[in-house]
Structure 1
Amino acid sequence: MEHKTLLLNQSDINSLITMKDIVEIVDKTFVGFGEGTTINPTKVNLDLGETASYPDYHGFMNAMPAYIGWEDIAGIKWAGGFLGKRREMGLPYVTAMILLIDPTIGEFKCVMDGALITNLRTGAQAAVAAKYMFPNKKEISIGLYGAGMQGHMQTLAFAELFDIKELRVYDLYPAAAEKFKEDMKDAVKGDIIVCSDPKDASIGDVVVGFTQSKDKYIKDEWIKPGQIVFPMGSYTECEDALLLNADKIIVDHVGQCMHRGALHDVVADGKLKEEDIYATIGDVAVGRKPTDAANERIICVPIGTGAMDIAVAGIVYKRALEKGLGGTFEFL
């Protein structure tokens, strides 16, 4: 029996997967969550100065294991983001690696870059969730906060599942929003409107925030029935009143969402408890928990799970074998 582990870099991965593939994989994996065949323990966070005072490296790493039943693959992603010296060096914010094993015997099948997969699957999660909450919509309008990498990815993913009739974008840096408009003109069928006032971007069937802001800039009074808000950033982009007054809160993973991201502050202050979470996206995907998104104000928090990374990595690994891509290394 050979004990060779396949090694794949970002270029290999980019040649093997598309956003259309990612959307389909994320969809199947959310269904797996609902069916109980996607196994995803809560991620373990190593704070390297993201919020902690020591060590002062302005970053963090997460360990994110998962098993994907529909692929019969298991693995772990070791990933994080750094704003300190890494940014000064001109390196991308995200750094990540994925390790896959054969779940029957524990053999390491593949080691691959995880940054590209992280960016792609993060973009797809909100779009897939919206598909289940707006099952009869073919066209959608979007309000987007943040015109960076994830702003692009979110838009590409939504464009796979909906015709985007209007997209309003706000960014602290107007030049970034203008560049986004130019970059996304082929993906968005309708108009892209660059907003100078953050309130003007809160109009849309879905409102997506993907920023590093801690200012709770999405206001309760802005959001009306029939809108789904996706606060995707690592911090708390929605003001507390919006979270506490929402008709429903839906998350991808209850354990993780209670301690990081949009819900962190209201949970820490004792204002929101686990029983206040209406459902997971998996519950909605399999029809266990219905929504009335056309008439409700819904907060949906897909904070990100290792399961999505492992599911995508499993397909990438299979395709790499078929096409003879990547190198190998014999660890044993």
Structure 2
Amino acid sequence: MIVIDAPAVERLLSWPALVGAIGDMFAAGCVAPARHHHPFDIPGEDAGTLLLMPAWAPGAFLGVKIVTVVPANGTRGLPAIAGTYLLSSAGTGETRAVIDGASLTAWRTAAASALASKHLSRPESEDLVIVGTGALSARLAAAHASVRPIRRIRVWGRSAEKAAAAADRIRADGLEAEAITDLEAAVRSADIVSCATLSRAPLVLGDWLKPGAHLDLVGAFNPGMRESDDAAVTRSSLFVDTREGALHEAGDLIQPIRAGLIGPEAIAADLRELCLGLHPGRRRADEITLFKSVGASLEDLAAAVLVYERFKAAENPSA
């Protein structure tokens, strides 16, 4: 068994390879049982969440990710998400690697958004707005820029200081970025809007989205959270990472479904259908598209296998 820490994950992964690996895994398929989702009480603050996410490709690899989400960690100067990935042989059950889960999750989450963007955003998209200032903000900027010719990136957060820090991290990756305070004005001109927050109230309004915009919703991972309003949902063509996950956990879709504004059939396609060409993705230049992800264990498995295989190749370059 090998241990692959966060710096090694950072060293081994690249956006084109990871986006491709996740797309290949969606097309090929794997066994991905529903994830276990357990709240745990934390005295004096919002509850945390424990997630257990298994997946396996028969005869190849089997993995499970153990994740905790603690919303109040921001007040402690700690990331909201922590986790570990355990990768095993699906033939013998032997453990192959223990991989840093937080870094793996950040990479695969942003890569899934980039994969969706390849199918849903306009190919000429240049203007990106990032909503949220957490660890995912720079990842999402880099991932979207790997599949579209992004020239302008603006970052908005409730804290101007944190937005500035997030813009600094994006610039450190060699991309142009600035912090902003007027979210509405930014969204109205954006080609792509990518949100990664723990918001319980809409941040991006549908009336702000211009024709042809693509809205990428990454945060709001349970039914009580949402980052977009009803107008954004009803104005858009809707896509998800997995239907089962979205219909059980995505507040941005569950809340308008419960209100009778849309039905489950409003979801045009999931990533598997897009990757297999069963749905063409964007149909018109003026179409507004919305992609909602809640995370899929398939994505974790694809990322973990890529990390493991690259680690082994680096250990034995002549093999």
Query: TM (normalized to structure 1)?
Result: 0.83
Within the alignment, does 1:185 sit opposite 2:171 as a pair? yes
- Which residue is equivalent to 1:22? 18
User: CA distance change for structure 1 residues 221 and 286 in 2, over 3 Å: closer, same or farther?
Assistant: same
Distance 1:56 1:268, change over 3 A: farther
Partner of 1:91: 78
Q: Residues 52-71 of structure 1: matches in 2 within 5 Å?
A: 58-68=47-57
Alignment deviations for residues 97-156 of structure 1 (CA, whole Å, 9 cap, x no partner): 111222223222222221100011111211121112247x25522122113211110011
Supply the distance in 1 between the matched residues of 2:44 and 2:55 (Cα, whole angstroms): 28
Query: What is the match of residue 7 of structure 2?
Result: 11
How many residue pairs align between the two structures?
A: 309
Q: 1:297 is aligned with what amino acid?
A: I
Deviation at 1:157, TM superposition (A): 0.8
1:31 lines up with 2:58 in the alignment: no
2:156, 2:180 within 8 Å by CA — same for their partners in 1? yes
Q: Residue 307 of structure 1: SS of its match in structure 2?
A: helix
Q: Deviations over 1:231-261 (max 9, x none)?
A: 2112211112321332x11001111111223
User: 1 CA distance for matches of 2:173 and 2:20?
Assistant: 18
Alignment-derived partner of residue 273 in structure 1: 263
Aligned pairs for 1:124-203 within 5 A? 124-134=111-121, 137-185=123-171, 187=173, 192-202=177-187, 203=189
- CA distance 1:99–1:244, shift in 2 (3 Å): same
Amino acid at match of 1:10: A
Structure 2 gap ranges (5+): none
Higher helix share: 2
Identify if the C-alpha distance between structure 1 residues 9 and 193 changes in structure 2 by more than 3 Å, giving closer, same or farther: closer
**Compared CA separation, residues 80 and 320, structure 1 to 2 (3 A):** same
Q: Which residue of 2 aligns with 1:79?
A: 67
Partner SS state of residue 248, structure 2? coil
Distance in 1 (alpha carbons) for counterparts of 2:158 and 2:44: 29
Q: Which amino acid aligns with 2:138?
A: H
**Structure 1 unmatched runs, 5+:** 326-332
User: Would the alpha carbon gap of residues 57 and 144 (structure 1) be closer, same or farther in structure 2, given more than 3 Å must change?
Assistant: closer
User: How far apart, CA to CA, are the structure 1 residues paired with 2:56 and 2:256?
Assistant: 31
Q: CA deviation at 1:222?
A: 0.8
User: Does the 8 A contact of 1:74 with 1:103 survive in 2?
Assistant: yes
Q: Which moved more, 1:173-182 or 1:302-311?
A: 173-182
Structure 2 residue matching 1:312: 3-state secondary structure: helix
Q: Which amino acid in 2 is paired with 1:58?
A: A
Q: So what's the TM-score if we normalise by structure 2?
A: 0.86
SS at match of 1:184: helix
Question: Does the aligned pair in 2 maintain the 1:101–1:110 contact within 8 Å?
Answer: yes
Higher relative contact order (CA 8 A, sep 6+): 1
- Name the structure 1 match of 2:278: 288
Contact preservation (8 Å) 1:79, 1:94: yes
Q: Tell me how far 1:311 sits from its aligned partner.
A: 1.0
Q: Which of 235, 238, 244 is the equivalent residue of 1:245?
A: 235
What is the aligned counterpart of 1:304 among 270, 295, 309?
295
- Aligned-pair identity in percent equals 22
Find the counterpart in structure 2 of residue 322 from structure 1: 313
Alpha-carbon distance in 1 for matches of 2:154, 2:91 = 48
CA-atom RMSD, angstroms? Answer: 2.6
Give the partner amino acid of 2:22: V
Query: C-alpha displacement at 1:263, in angstroms?
Result: 1.6
Task: Call closer, same or farther: CA 1:18–1:45 in 2, change over 3 Å.
Answer: same
Shift in Å, 1:43: 1.7
For residue 93 of structure 2, the aligned residue among 89, 92, 106 is 106
Displacement of 1:195 after TM fit?
2.5
